[in-house]
A and B are shown apart, each in its own frame.
Chain A
Amino acid sequence: MIVAIVYLVLIVVSILLTVQSAHVLYLMLYTWDRADAERKARAPEEFLPPQLSFSVLLPARHEEDVIQSTIERVVRADYPAELLEVFVICSQDDTGTVKKAEEKIDELHREGLHNVRVVVFDDKPINKPHGLNTALPHTANEVVTIFDAEDDIHPKIFSLVNTVMVQEDVRVVQAGVQLMNYQSNWYSTLNVLEYFFWFKSRLHYHAHYGSIPLGGNTVFFARELLLRLRGWDDRNLTEDADMGLRISAMGERVRVVYDDRYVTKEETPPTLGHFIRQRTRWSQGFMQTLKKGTWKKLPTRKQRWLAFYVLAFPRGQALLGLYLPLSLGMILVLKVPVLIALCSYLPVLLLAAHFLVQAVGLYEFTNAHGLEASPKAVLRMAIAWFPFQMVLAYAALRAMRREMLGRHDWEKTQHVGAHRATTEEAESRVG
């Protein structure tokens, strides 16, 4: 009897996992699969003359190392200075970053550029959404956008968004973000590819069906839309995903542009610890957002289901993490009937397909960015693959534990610039 139940569970779980991972695989390949989706994803070839004005929010916490160059990059973007204003957002206790930012502002003043300001807030909670909310009332331009302090933005990004917003009459644009350092440590290749598939393919699917968790930066909103939504949810760890769903619930169309040429370049978290903390935050944020229930307000069932599916994914991932070693052990140790063993072979097949797609994705990615992939990189990826899945599952489990314990503090990811020397572990844990 018990044996029969175990077998039944094994079969049901195998089939569910197979269906789920087949679907994920489809989402990963969505833009490649459909020529029309691919065309829609591209950036316009010709840009319109500058028309819209932009307010850039630069939330920064302990970013002394990179804040000056970030300001520099935004200000020097290929867009008229009078149509740009920049807000560096810091909490009051972060004197180092404030000082560095002000140094840079003085320098720009001497050049005659007066469109950068520092916004300081001194109230709790100290996190990104709260900082954004603090700065929002200071903005005056038509479009509000967010960049993270370590972002390497493309100089044409404003022209691009200006064109898209004017031509297509959209009020929210999510442009591509891409991790670049695919060779700096064992997990970076897989992390880079996650971004690649997420922004290049999967987000388009979500945008198409109007149920989209937005990214944390390089996202552009019409200012009045943000005001109408009363800013970000500062109690949410993934305020960006939450914002995306709230916008979707309003029925607002989100345009996703992923064009390899214009992506915002980022780096993977420098250490495994940071990576796990970042991933824990995302997973927990998704769980929060799921609990909050914005997704239930989406108009159609398909949209609700899609949102639920994304938000519930971390939980599934945690379970998957538990299941994977279990099933492997069972296949190897237990002498199950051949049919049941064959059935549990299905998810393994899908895992192989996932790996294959990622290996091909590595070539797509490197080719798109003028880099070179090698069989060695694929081999490294193969070796790192299973541990990486385990790390993701661990982070998801960790998030689940934190969520159950009611710990909602913000574990920030540190940015150092992968090409620079790694600084001290200046990890900032703030309550």
Chain B
Amino acid sequence: MSDNPTPPRPAPEPAPVAAEDQSTRRDKQTRQDRQDRQPSRDRQPQRDRQPPPDRQPPPDRQTPPDRQTPPDKNAAQGKNAARDRSATKDKGAAQDKSATKDGARQDRSARQDKSAPRDKGAGPPTRPPRRRRPRFSVERGWFPPLGSKGKVALVVSVLTGLLTHGYHLFRYPLYLTDEGIYMQRAWSVLRETSLSPYTYDYDHAPLGWITLAGWVFPLPKQFETFGNAINTGRFLMLLVHLVSVYLLFEITRRLSGSVLAATIAAFLFNVSPIAVYFQRQVLLDNLMILWLLLSLFMLLRREVTIRSVFGGGMALGIALITKENAIFFVPSFMYLLYRRVKGSASHRFTSTLWPFAAFAPIGAYVTYALLKNELLPSGFDFDLNNPPADHVSLLYTLWWQLNRSQGTLFSHTGLLQTSWLVRDKYLLIAGVCAMLISLWLGMRDRKRNLGFLISGTLAFGYAFYLVRGSVVLDFYVTPLIPMLAINVGMVIDRMLTGSFASRFIRGAHSMTRVALPSFVALLLLASPASGYLVHTNTEGHTQIADQYQSKINLTGMQHAQIAWVRKHVPPNSRIIMDDDLWGDLHDVRPFYPYAHSHWNASSDPDVRDKLFRKKWQNVDYIIMSNKMRKSMDTNNSDGRENWILQALRNSTRVWSQTQGNIKLEIYRVQ
């Protein structure tokens, strides 16, 4: 850019070219570029009338200490300049000379300003130092540089994630039905080139387990690489978590302009017991969050290019066909995109290609249904009480899901009370408060608090989905966790900045900014009430929390269960079980081809009517957990599990194991 000797077009008062000093001209150009990106600035609401940074008089007005570091935009410009210069060597000598002069001056300023990230720029930065640096702005992509402290915080965050999610990963929590289902479908993708070993009824978009299959495929022992199918999936979740931590950190930093906010958000995302519990599990939500964060990150790059917007749209589309509930984040994304491309030269292209890119993966999904002739129910019959019998249908399932309602979230037996608040009430309560504060800050000044508006609406959109009264399962809270973490981080940072802005305590500023959150974090870690690191067990003893407790090996019980089956049950037995054992029994020799989950045995026509014929006598074994027993009851509202329950009544227990409130059993049917 420095080699373009001419100010760009909409310059209000073009200066005579030849007469002016080169460096001033370049400076003016930089300024002009920004105006190009933001021509609507003059139409800003009255309350934001304070002069924009680059129009303020250049002399060294006092700047708050945390604004001393020039944004890394500088460095990037320097890099660009260097590249451009080398690309066009036959430039006028005069210009080159002026550039070096510039660079030298900049170097001097960097020496004065110790915190300047000198390692960032490959070439000398181009902007003269005697100007006030631009403030932070999400809209224009003026993000402060990461800096060395930021880098340390980032690395520590990622390592923390590795520790909290990696340690004990294969032992806690218990393998869950849904983990089994997704691995079973990934198995089907690899082994049968099909989306499910049973009839795929479009209950979820398939990209999640296609991803799992893609992960498993190159591994040396495929599904058994890490012991069993679910472990192998969980290892991918660990990798997904680490990437997500990086993205979350950077997103928070860019939305807030603060490393502190990013560190707090990453801390909660890493250490909160509710996060550890759900993020270790093989859930579509975890994969979806990765794509969603990636998409958000693409919209928060310094320069919004068509390519990054396209990539961001594509990532959003992928998130949507990994798990559909990503849709509740879309409005915030749209608004962020609108704010970021407004007034740019390419805004027409970006604002059309983003939705296009997001629709592309969805289009593939719909095309898949269309090609299989499973898009529409036969005869356009959307009657919810009377599901079409001849074939499954994408749109029917969607319609059915939209009409499911079971608003029990807030009741005493609702998930909120029985599961979520138990796991981490601090994050949930603080998160919701922070979300409200973010929304308030964002609404109050949309112009300046764009970051708060985005983080607040992201959390709000998903919270709305949870409370709106549809079916909510335990792990549906997963996508809310990172959003709440972002909000908590940003609000705490803002509160600290706000209170220390007063003259009274400014002296203690940076120390306290770090010390106070650190203290709270230590308190959380040390307090048994939080369950972050230690908790109080049922006997009233304080001990290491379950997720890190080396004495607890929940999945070991499941391994013992499988071992017993392998030893005592013949492979051709007809077995009713839960999905978490599916991979073990179908992918490890000898195979148990007639082992099916009670879900499929009670609903899939192939299993129910052909193998078991709905007769309890046709069942040989039931492999069970107390959790499964419970869900058999809830799934039995229309009596579909009656014959299985009857089999259970006509059986004898041959094996069982108990640990805490978990009980695993095996029954032989007479």
Contact = CB atoms under 8 A, between A and B. Distances in A.
Interface of A: 26, 29, 32-36, 38-40, 42-46, 48, 167-169, 208, 253, 259, 338-339, 341-342, 345, 349, 352-353, 356-357, 359-360, 363-364
B352 A39 contact: no
Given A33-B306, A345-B363, 6 more contacts: A33-B305, A35-B37, A46-B16, A253-B90, A338-B368, A341-B371
Contacts of A39: 1, 4, 8, 33
A31 to B, nearest CB: 9
Contacts of B352: 356, 359-360
Nearest to B350: A32
B303 interface: yes
B349 A357 contact: yes
Interface stretch (B80-88, B99-107, B147-155, B419-427): B80-88
Contacts of A43: 6
Contacts of B37: 35
A349 B17 contact: no
**B contact patch SS:** loop
Interface of B: 1, 3-9, 11, 14-18, 33, 37, 80, 84, 87-88, 90-92, 193, 303, 305-307, 345-346, 348-349, 352-353, 356, 360, 363-364, 367-368, 371-372
A168 B3 CA distance: 9
Contacts of A45: 6-9, 11, 14, 17
Contacts, number: 96
Given A36-B84, A39-B1, A167-B5, A360 B306 contact: no
A26 B1 CA distance: 21
A42 B11 CA distance: 13
Given A345-B364, A345-B367, A352 B356 contact: yes
B91 A32 contact: no
Contact of B348 (A208, A345, A360): A360
B4 A35 contact: no
Given A40-B4, A253-B90, A33 B346 contact: yes
A347 to B, nearest CB: 12
Nearest to A350: B360
Which 5 pairs from chain A and chain B are nearest by CB?
A: A32-B346, A44-B6, A33-B306, A45-B14, A46-B17
Contacts of B5: 44, 167-168
B371 A342 contact: yes
Given A33-B305, A39-B8, A356 B353 contact: yes
A339 B193 contact: yes
Contacts of A352: 356
Contact of B367 (A35, A342, A359): A342
Given A45-B6, A356-B352, A338 B306 contact: no
A339 B192 CA distance: 13
Contacts of B349: 29, 32, 357, 360, 364
Nearest to A45: B14
Nearest to A30: B306
A34 B346 CA distance: 9
B9 A42 contact: yes
A169 B84 contact: no
A339 B371 CA distance: 10
A253 B88 contact: yes
A357 B353 contact: yes
13 contacts: A32-B346, A32-B349, A35-B303, A36-B84, A44-B5, A45-B7, A45-B8, A46-B15, A46-B17, A345-B363, A349-B363, A356-B356, A364-B348
A259 B16 CA distance: 20
Contacts of A356: 352-353, 356
Question: Which one of B3, B345, B360, B371 has the highest number of Cβ atoms from chain A below 10 Å of its Cβ?
Answer: B371
A349 B360 contact: yes
Contacts of A168: 5, 91-92
B26 to A, nearest CB: 12
A257 to B, nearest CB: 11
Contact of B80 (A32, A36, A42): A36
Nearest to B347: A32
Contacts of A253: 88, 90
Contacts of B80: 36
Question: Which one of A33, A34, A43 has the highest number of Cβ atoms from chain B below 10 Å of its Cβ?
Answer: A33
A285 B104 CA distance: 51
A357 B367 CA distance: 22
Contacts of A208: 87
A42 to B, nearest CB: 6
A265 B81 CA distance: 34
Contacts of B90: 169, 253
Contacts of A46: 6, 14-17
B345 A32 contact: yes
Contact of A353 (B16, B91, B193, B353): B353
B8 A342 contact: no
A196 to B, nearest CB: 13
Contacts of A33: 305-307, 346
A46 B17 CA distance: 7
Contacts of A26: 307
Nearest to A36: B1
A352 B3 CA distance: 37
A30 to B, nearest CB: 9
A304 to B, nearest CB: 18
B162 to A, nearest CB: 36
A17 B590 CA distance: 45
Contact of B18 (A42, A48, A259, A364): A48
Contacts of A345: 363-364, 367
Contacts of B84: 36
Contacts of B87: 208
B310 to A, nearest CB: 9
Given A38-B345, A345-B367, A353-B353, A338 B372 contact: yes
A297 to B, nearest CB: 20
A373 to B, nearest CB: 11
Contacts of B3: 40
A360 B5 CA distance: 30
B6 A169 contact: no
Contacts of A259: 9
